[in-house]
Every structure is written in structure tokens, then in C-alpha cells.
Amino acid sequence: MFAKIFRSDMINCALCYDAPCSKACGKIDPAKLLRSMWFENEKTAAAVLPQDSPCAACRAAEDGLMPCEAACVRPGEVPVRKLITRLYEEVRPNLEVSLPQDEERLRTQICGIPLENPFLLSSSVVASTYDMCARAFEAGWAGASFKTICSMDIHEASPRFSAITGDNGSIIGFKNIEQLSDHSVEENMEIFRRLKARYPRKFILASIMGEDDADWERLARLCEENGADAIELNFSCPNMAEGGLGSDIGQVPELVERFTAAARRGAKIPILAKLTPNVAKMSPAAEAAMRGGADGIAAINTIKSIIGVNPHTYISAPAVHGMSAVGGYSGQAVKPIALRFIAEMGHNPALSGMHLSAMGGVERWSDALEFIMMGAGSIQVTTAVMQYGYRIIDDLKAGLNMYLAEKGFNSVSEVIGIGLDSISETTDVLERDTIIYPKFNLKKCIGCGRCVISCADGGHQAISLTEDRSPRMDAKKCVGCHLCVLVCPQRAISGSGRRVKKKAEG
């Protein structure tokens, strides 16, 4: 409800490490509250506040800044007191339930193996060493899909990342040309043994990529013998130096079935096939994996992409000694595509009973919820961790837990697939006989006229400005497309206006 407003006030917050604002306060943890607001978790932020606001009694310095605001790495640019006061005044009075006292609702499972919550690190640099996984487990992640293990000699390029960023510098879309684990198989097996010994209840998903049938079988066997709870078959990496690997396999159902069967010969523990989105439909490969013996599907891996062509050097990013390459695209920008593939498999009756482990643009608890509602039973995250750190697990768990409590759900499992009935593969099922007019909130409107411009040049010329710069809609021209709702910078237009029947034509 308040998330977009909070984020607009927080545009200059750097989400610091060891934040100076919290050190300056000493009464509450402003940095953690700000982070919760950034990740659309303002309800739990409000719920953990003390009864009386410490900000009310805190005196500003001579320059008018609160101690936390003055200590900020961008002094005076983040209205900490205002934001926390709004938690007290606008959010806290509207809380529907008390803050959940435990995380029992978050408990779930992958193929019958318990998870303390649905959140895993996905196979990537964020889960590539013992120390990194250990710190993530200590932070609260339920498990990790370890960076893909292989027998190949891996040599990475430098640099190997690039990104598309938003107005405040946050990453919207992320490109990588990174490959697989550069540790030996033996080194990675030692990591598994150490992790399982220290964290027996954490879920270790061993991502592997073989070069042939025997290699897939051998790697699967070794992972099971050294403590992995399940195996993830990487049929989807778009960055392999050699052809016939990664996403080249995922695009050919026959190869998916063949190598899944090979891995199944090597291990009895659950197997998930990680599939490529670089296809028109994912179901053929998913069904092939099922025939080969897979117990579940992981999706999506990154999308083949080219971003950031330099207008002076003519080279795309990341540039490596004057060359670049097609790489994998991830981050918030790919979430709609990832949701589409998860929904496709969630709808497919042939895949009934298969566990769906979803990833692709998950940054906030609400992103994870969307995937769960489309049929996912577990959630994997990489790009958001690379940007914000393992600490995001706090808000992923707290936000989802609060939502489940508000809605009266007793477990994550009750939400899995709950939104599938609202989605169709085609638009022919949509009702087309009514118009829902936009609704204008004149108290919030600043008279910028953005709605007029967009409606005139991208819509149906149905909005004009009066002399006092208030929007006026012509109902005879409006078709209810709601473009104006999307472009309004003040969120002063909603899509909940009057509903009318279309007049019969002719």
C-alpha cells in the first residue's frame, strides 16, 4: 500500500553496510527499518517499533538534521525521521495482525525433504565457497544451490558483469558472462561435507554439468555420497565456451531426457532439471526431464542477451580486450518472463507432482509470493543478493510470514498455485464488453499533464487539462486502457473507477 511512496522518499538511501545512521541513533535500528521499507516490508518494520517513537523526543542539531540524518553518508538527503514517523502514523494503526512470533508458516519442502523456509541461494557466485554458504545459512537462508560443479577447466573473463540501472543507480537488469565453478570436483565435495556436518538441517542442492553420459552419472553419484540433499542438472547456462553444453542441451528435449537418465543412474536422491528460458515453451523439456527420472524443475536460468553497446568504442558490455559476447540476463527485468514459464509448467497436467523451484527477478517477498502463486514450491535468488547481500533474507522471510498471517494461511503450501486459475495462455478468454474508467484523485494530482501527453500520443485523446491544470476525462473517447494510471508520477490515478457496458456498435 505504502511501498512506492516510501521508496520515493528513500531514493537517496545507499542501504549502507554497517550503517552510520544506526550507530548515531542507539535507540532503534534506522538502517534495518529503511531496508525493510525499501523491500516493501513496511508492515513488519512498523510492527517491530517500540510503543513510543524515539524520534519524537530526539532533538535536531543546529543545522536542523537529526543525529541519524547528519551521520548519513549523504547527510540530509534521507529523511529518516519523516520515514519512521510515517511508520508510526500511517502504517502501524492499519496493521491487520500482530507480528508473527515464529516462522512455522514458512516451513515447506522440496521433494519431501524439509525446508525451514522456501528461500535458497541459486547456483552462482553467491553460493560458490564454504564461507559464503556458511554466512548465508547463518543469516537465515534455508539452503543453497551450489555453483555448478563440472570436470572442465574453467577460466573466467574479466570483467564479466554489466547492468541496466534505474534513476537511483539500483540494478534493473543484470548481464553476466560467468561460467561454472572454478574449483575442482574434489574441492567442492569437501565443501559439501563440511557444510553438511556443520549445518545438517540446511538444504544443499548440488548443481552439476557433465560432458557426457558417464560424467553426468559420476558427478551425481559423488554429490550424493558427499552430503548433497538433491541434485540440480544445469541444462541452461548460456555462457559455455564449448558448444553442446548448458542451454544447448536445454533446447533439445531428447538430450534433456538422456542426461537426466544418466544422472538418475548415479543417484537416488531427488533430481531437479534446471531449464533454459531460451525456448518458445518450456514444457517439452520439462516433460522430457520427467521421463528421464527428474523429480522437479528449476527455472528460469538467465536469458541470452546483449546490453550496453558503447557509442564510442562500438563494443558491448562487458568489454573484454575489445570483444564481448552474448551473455545471461537476470534481475527484476526478467521476472515477467520467469513468471510466464512457471505458470506454463504449473498449468501442465503432465507435470503434476513435479516440484517447481522458481527464480528470475526475485528481490522482495512479494516477488517470491507471485512465483508461489504460479505454482512454485521453493524460491531461488542470485542477482538481488549480489546487489544487496545475504541480509535480504530478513525481509523475504518477515514479509512473506506477515502476509500469510494476514490472509489466514497456515503454511506456504496453501498458497502454491493459488493464482493459476486467473491466467490463460491466450487472450480469447477475456471479457471485452465493459470499460473500467480511470479514477482521478485531485488532492494528489500536481497538474503535470503526463496523463494528457500519454493519452494523446499513445492512447485515445480522452484527457485534457482545465485552466487550473486539473485533468478532465472525456468518457466518450476513453476506452479504459489505463495507460494514464501507469504513467502518473504521483500515483494520483487508479484503475478502480466506474465500470460501464460498451454500447452496441452500429
Query: What would you report as the CA-atom Rg of the chain, rounded to the nearest whole angstrom?
Result: 25
In 3D space, the residue among 333, 274, 24 whose CA is nearest the CA of residue 149 turns out to be 274
**Unique residue bearing C-alpha cell 542441451:** 249
Characterize 341-375 residue by residue with b for buried, 16 or more Cβ atoms within 10 angstroms of its Cβ, and e for exposed: bbbbbbbbeebeebbbbbbbbbbbbbbbbbbbbbb
- Verify cis geometry, omega within 30 degrees of 0, for the bond prior to 159: yes
The pair phi, psi for residue 233, each rounded to 5°, is -90, 115
Q: Sign of the C-alpha dihedral, residues 383, 387, 391, 395? A: negative
Catalytic, out of 21, 55, 237, 488: 237
Helices and strands of the chain, counted as H and E runs: 19, 20
Distance in angstroms (rounded) separating the CA atoms of residues 87 and 93: 9
Q: What is the 3-state secondary structure (H, E, C) of 365-380?
A: HHHHHHHHHCCCCEEE
Are the beta carbons of 37 and 80 closer than 8 angstroms? no
Distance in angstroms (rounded) separating the CA atoms of residues 277 and 393: 26
237 among known catalytic residues? yes
Range list of β-strands (E), 31-110: 108-110
The pair phi, psi for residue 475, each rounded to 5°, is -65, -25
Give the strands of the sheet with 161-165, arranged side by side: 161-165, 171-176, 327-330, 303-305
Distance in angstroms (rounded) separating the CA atoms of residues 91 and 85: 10
Which residue type does 211 have?
Answer: E
Distance in angstroms (rounded) separating the CA atoms of residues 173 and 118: 24
Q: Tell me the HSE value of 503 on the side-chain side, using a 13 A CA sphere.
A: 7
Distance in angstroms (rounded) separating the CA atoms of residues 8 and 483: 21
> Which of the residues are catalytic?
237
